[in-house]
Amino acid sequence: MGNEQLVKEITELVKNEYPKFLHAEPQEVTVHFQINAKNELVVFDTTGKDEDTCDKVKEVLNFKQVKYDQATPLKPYVVQIKFTK
C-alpha cells in the first residue's frame, strides 16, 4: 500500500526514546492515527502488551509533524512498531 515510508518515519520519531521502551521481551505497539492538514500525527489509540510503552509511544508521536508526501488528511492509518532488545 506504500505506507513503508510512513512506518519508517514514525519509527524514526520514536527511536529517540527507544532505550526507554526496551524490556525483557520484544514488544510490538500498534498505533491508530490520522494525519491532519498540517501533516501532524493525531494518535487515537495505541495497543500492545505493555500499557506504559503504549502510553509513551502515544505521547511521543501525538502532533509530531511527518513529511509523508502521500498523506490523505483525516484518513485512518494503522502502523505497527516493533521494539527488540
Which residue did the predictor score with more confidence, 69 or 34?
34
| Angle (deg, nearest 10), helices 51-61 and 4-15 | 100
Per-residue pLDDT tens digits for 46-79: 999 888 889 989 999 999 999 888 888 789 999 9
pTM: 0.85
56 in helix, strand or coil? helix
How many alpha carbons lie under 13 Å from residue 82 in its C-beta half-sphere? 2
- Boundaries of every domain in the chain: 4-83
